[in-house]
Structure 1
């Protein structure tokens, strides 16, 4: 492809064709490489994501450089997204560094304040040709330092979603429909009827947060009802960490990172392929390349 691209056109095409593009939160170079390798092998469009914690840990310039290198080497479209950010200054910093998609998460505020904060980001992101994602309702669970207790989680209101999109002009919307960040304690209770109504009222791609651990049949139903992007974070971290833990359980004296990173990358790659297949975006890279070059 040669360079990182905005995910806007990719997600619009996915919405029209009724599949979802998988977005993976990566925290190390090895995770990024494994995710990209899997997507290339499956000829799938890809969204790389980093949390605010990872940006603060590695620095946006290092992350962008690694993602840009992947985009130059891969023959698939790749976007780089900042996930769940509440800090306007950090969003601007990431856009300047080269991120091609950002999420302003003001869902913990009132509807009016959410609109106001989102509009601030829309102005700068649209000028830079960057995708803007926002959230309505509250997705429960834990994402980095963001913690939403079950009793505080709330579902998005379909009519509010329509109004919000019209008032802000966001590119993509993450409505809370009963999913949660992290690993589910039991079966997720997804409000499919609400999702169907939201999809009917808004014309932009919808984002499925809390994609780790949702049963395949529920993921496919969400995609069929309009979810065009599926976020995967916690499961990827667990696969990566468990593979490293297994190495040390077998050989406690191992001290060569290259030795324990090999199985860690393999575990992430295998899981990435599973999620790509689940979302239905395998083999869609050529379609995305055509959409983004037209």
Structure 2
């Protein structure tokens, strides 16, 4: 990991491109890489890793996972009122320990989609099959965003928003075949999702300036 990351850093920095390293392993599947369990980032390793690689930001593992199925039912409790899974809390003690070792260094969280249950419900009620899909609670992401976490990856949420909108159109209008009529609502739903995340969750409104 150190050797490959340093190789990328040495090349990218020639062109003023920043590099995000990763230390630890997330459960779930991303592209061709998969793992069935977390390996939390060891705070005792972060100074050595950042120093030897020269990376500009560091993605760490504190219990987030790739995809819409971030936790198994066995890892969760179940809300008796709603029947929905309640995920285990993130390991903020690991994040705090990393911050103590690397004060003000840009930290990244991969696999941090919240898997909004309204989208899961829309998908499932319109022919989809996403039983027990659950993500990272937004209040935990808000907490992380107020710490040294500078980037939070939420790709699965946008996929769910788009899929929910498309499935709803196809279910309501099964004769529809014009992509503009189902991709338009999908685009609008994704825009709505991202505005909510930027303003209410990630705390990144106005930061582009």
Deviation at 1:211, TM superposition (A): 1.5
| Residue matched to 2:163 | 241
| Superposition pairs of residues 261-276 of structure 1, within 5 angstroms | 261-276=183-198
What is the CA deviation profile of residues 196-245 of structure 1, one whole-angstrom value per residue up to 9, with x for unaligned ones?
A: 11012125200011110121221122122311111111111111011111
Alignment of 1:161-200 (within 5 A): 161-183=46-68, 184-185=70-71, 186-200=86-100
Deviation at 1:116, TM superposition (A): 0.5
The structural deviation recorded for 1:146 is 2.3
**1:208 alignment counterpart:** 109
Residue aligning to 1:132: 19
CA distance in 1, matches of 2:146, 2:173: 46
Q: Which has the higher contact order (CA 8 A, sep 6+)?
A: 1
Q: Is the 8 A contact 2:105 2:148 kept in 1?
A: no
Q: Which runs of 5+ in 2 are unaligned?
A: 72-85, 115-135
Distance 1:143 1:270 in 2: 25
Write 1 or 2 for the structure with the bigger share of strand: 1
Ranges of 4+ aligned residues in structure 1 off by more than 6 Å: none
Query: CA separation in 2, counterparts of 1:284 and 1:132?
Result: 20
TM-score by length of 1: 0.56
Counterpart-to-counterpart distance in 1, 2:207 and 2:4: 34
Normalized against structure 2, the TM-score is what?
0.78
Report 1:4-15 matches (<5 A). Answer: none
1:210 counterpart SS class: coil
Q: Deviations over 1:6-38 (max 9, x none)?
A: xxxxxxxxxxxxxxxxxxxxxxxxxxxxxxxxx
Contact 2:62–2:95 (CA under 8 A) maintained in structure 1: yes
